[in-house]
Structure 1
Amino acid sequence: MTAASPGAPALSVVVPVYDEQEVLPLFVQRLRPVVDGLGVDYEVLVVDDGSIDATPVVLQRERRTWPQLRVVRLRANAGHQAAISAGLERARGELVVTIDADLQDPPELIADMVRLAREESLDVVYAARGDRSSDTRFKRVTASGYYDTMRRLGADHGPTHAGDFRLMSRATVDAVTALPEHHRVLRLVVPSLGFPAGVLTYRRDERAAGTSKYPLAKMLRLAVDSITGASLAPLRLATWLGFAGAVVALGLLVYALIGFAVGLNVPGWTSTFMVVTAVGGVQLLCLGILGEYVGRTYTMQLGRPTYYVAHDSAADDPQD
């Protein structure tokens, strides 16, 4: 593992939050004893992803009594993955842990993650959800479908049911942040590096307070970003669909020629309607798939940042 710069903390805990005023006090109550008990210099870097509730007020109140708490506020909501990326790019620790604030992932596991990383000289420690009984049936089914799809596409997503609760070494964080990729999905990017890794399992709890900030629309966007960012299989699917359409069209042409030769009176409207509809659907599907890849390329060419930082509380600390 590569060491951090001199004077940097041994551990950074990156916490993306968005409208989490209800759960933040509970999260702080559980996280602080864990990191205080490690006996190392640390920072807790909370990335406020443009919250519109009282989250900024709660964070400022907690900072008064917790000097290791650092708040980075984004100018606008950039999304969960972008908020984590913002935290990784500003984290200074030799080891960096990413965790959500909803307490579905237990902060107490951080101590075990740090110990495992040091004992076995690991660059990554994944926290995999061994028990998801607290999740809804819909959540369990969609999560299983996501990981199964990524596995079938050949994407290295690390341990099954490992989300964004993980520990990374400084070398891993530097490698991730050096990537020029936009809309990166970290649960795919980190395993793709192939760095030495270990796994710890845990029971996923229910959200301690507040409501989920990952509705179906965001889940679908994550799935699309994952598929288009990690595999060319959809493009190959478009190619095969085009090939299948060409075969069907050729078969219909042969059928029409034979019918014309033998003088069959073939009804035309229904078959024409079905063929045009089917071919049009395949074409639109292929164009949509191509559009996703072209859009990603276009975004990369523009080079626009995925987030904008409004304020970093580290600037207010004289020692920094």
Structure 2
Amino acid sequence: MRDPELSVVVPMYDEEDVLPIFFERMRPLLDGLGISYEVLVVDDGSRDATASMLLAAATGWPELRVVRLLRNSGHQAAQSAGFRRARGRFLVTIDADLQDPPEIIADFLATAREQQVDVVYGVRSDRSSDSWAKRTTARLYYRLICRLVGREIPFDAADFRLVSRRVVDAVNALPEDGRVFRLVIPWLGFPSAEVEYVRAERAAGVTKYNWSKMFRLAFDSVTAFSAAPLRLATWFGLLGGLLSGLFAVGALVIKLSGESVPGWTSTVLAVSVIGAIQLLCLGLLGEYVARLFQSSQRRPQFLVGYDSLEDTGHQAVNEVARR
């Protein structure tokens, strides 16, 4: 079978509420592009009726391809599975909640062809619907990404993007596990362009990306991509040494002046500051040691339990639907 022109990769986790709207909106749009395509939905171990609804829809939508992971492995791992299995000349990643408008996919394709670029970022032009805390943390996160990648990248560009087959092959060739696509793709340095859009409210259901997951993404972005925290530990150690030296000089001056007062406050303060710095440095070192340990185990980031493209009979479909 000939490979399609476009692959649309959609990670999903417990999205049964939004699926009817997703089907109703996505299929007419992609059919209207006039090119061959596949919608590669990666079901990230959903616990609700997402899998059965996808399989039922695939019987009447030949371009819908369902890939189901054996367990919940996370958003970035689901994207990795999509990158591994997508066959299209171009690949678009989009979330199932329809906050990123799928109508922009046509603009992505037009921009990629007209400007001859390999990456087209979807950039939010308006964040007024977000809270002050969300806007502030997002701004700090993107500034951090720029520092880590070592180049200017679009602010407010998340996982809604188009990449060419060259980028897909380059990403799949990277040896590390636990990659963060928001960092990896800009770091590769392929020619890129931007398309601005306004993000909508979630079409249905509730978000699965809470504050703890966002914090984890930010932390993984740093520790999986850069050794900067290790250097930060070194600087903390130097700062702690400097503060200790100043404290010793101050204590000596007070002693020689005869104004020293016996007490425990200064001792507790000094021990607390130095102890906190040491524990922070040990924690950072522990994170990197843990990553080295996980890498040495060579455990796969995800395991695919089912791919509708490889299904040859209804029995396999029924078995997956019952899980």
Q: TM-score if structure 2 supplies the norm length?
A: 0.92
SS in 2 for 1:195: coil
The Cα shift of 1:136 comes to: 3.5
1:133 and 1:204 in contact (8 A); partners too: no
1:101 corresponds to: 96
**1:315 aligned onto 2:310:** yes
**Unpaired stretches in structure 1, ≥5 consecutive residues:** 1-5
1:8 corresponds to: 3
Task: Find 1:78's aligned residue among 70, 73, 76.
Answer: 73
Question: How far apart are the structure 2 equivalents of 1:45 and 1:246?
Answer: 55
Task: Find 1:167's aligned residue among 162, 168, 171.
Answer: 162
RMSD between superposed Cα atoms in Å: 1.8
1:157 and 1:188 in contact (8 A); partners too: no
Question: How far apart are the structure 2 equivalents of 1:254 and 1:136?
Answer: 47
2:110 corresponds to: 115
1:104 and 1:207 in contact (8 A); partners too: yes
Question: How far apart are the structure 1 equivalents of 2:277 and 2:178?
Answer: 27
Q: 1:152 to 1:170 in 2, by over 3 A?
A: closer
The Cα shift of 1:255 comes to: 3.2
2:48 corresponds to: 53
Task: Find 1:280's aligned residue among 275, 278, 288.
Answer: 275
1:276-319 CA-to-partner distances (Å, cap 9, x unmatched) read: 1111111111112222222222222221111111111111159x
1:56-101 CA-to-partner distances (Å, cap 9, x unmatched) read: 1210121121011000001111000000010110001111111001
**1:21 aligned onto 2:16:** yes
Tell me which amino acid in the other structure corresponds to 1:18.
Answer: Y
2:33 corresponds to: 38
**Unpaired stretches in structure 2, ≥5 consecutive residues:** 314-323
1:197 corresponds to: 192
1:115-174 CA-to-partner distances (Å, cap 9, x unmatched) read: 111222211111111112333443222212211233345544721100001111111001
The Cα shift of 1:263 comes to: 4.4
Task: Find 1:124's aligned residue among 102, 119, 126.
Answer: 119
**Bigger mean CA offset, 246-255 vs 54-63:** 246-255
Question: How far apart are the structure 2 equivalents of 1:125 and 1:30?
Answer: 22
**Bigger mean CA offset, 213-222 vs 294-303:** 294-303
Q: 1:78 to 1:156 in 2, by over 3 A?
A: farther
Aligned residue pairs, count: 313
Q: TM-score if structure 1 supplies the norm length?
A: 0.93
